[in-house]
Amino acid sequence: MKNLKINIPIIVLIAIVAIILAPTGGVTQAENPLLKDYQVAEVRPFEVPLNVPAPDSAGRDLAYEIIYQIMRYSDKFNLFEMVIMEGAQKVPAGKKILLVKGTITAYSDKGTCAVNFEFVDKASNKVLHEAEAKGFTFRVANYIARVIYSYKVGEK
């Protein structure tokens, strides 16, 4: 019983320190971009630098996977009127466009990659959010779609 009395305050102290020192996301709450006003999501094929051993199609393939994942969220939660590859079709006038673009920084034939990505207001070219992601390609695409979802509905 004596050990239990000593361990409880230590556990509580460790929990408080862990909460205080816990890492936060790359953007603080005050800086979170709200994407509620965007009706169209447009994805640009990701750049593949020459020093990254990836096939030429890797950037386009990742963009298609991101479109698929954004469409999944959009269909379920009614996020966007259109989700398209940049330049694939004409966007009606007056629609606010969220551009998703980035660079593949690492690539493996085993299906993994690392990327730097940005959300950009297409009209003003203002970067709204930028971050990194790595893992299996489909998980990277799903992560990007989840970030858009959380900013679109204001959960972050």
Q: Domain holding 117: CATH number?
A: 3.40.50.11830
Q: For 23-75, write each residue's pLDDT tens digit.
A: 333 443 335 567 888 999 999 999 999 999 999 899 999 999 999 999 999 99
Q: Where in the sequence is the domain holding 51, given as residue range(s)?
A: 36-153
Give dist(CA 105, CA 116) in Å, integer: 7
**Count of alpha carbons within 13 Å of 28, Cβ hemisphere only?**
1
Distances (CA, A) of 71 to 16, 21, 150: 40, 36, 14
Report the domain count for the chain: 1
In a domain, 74, yes or no: yes
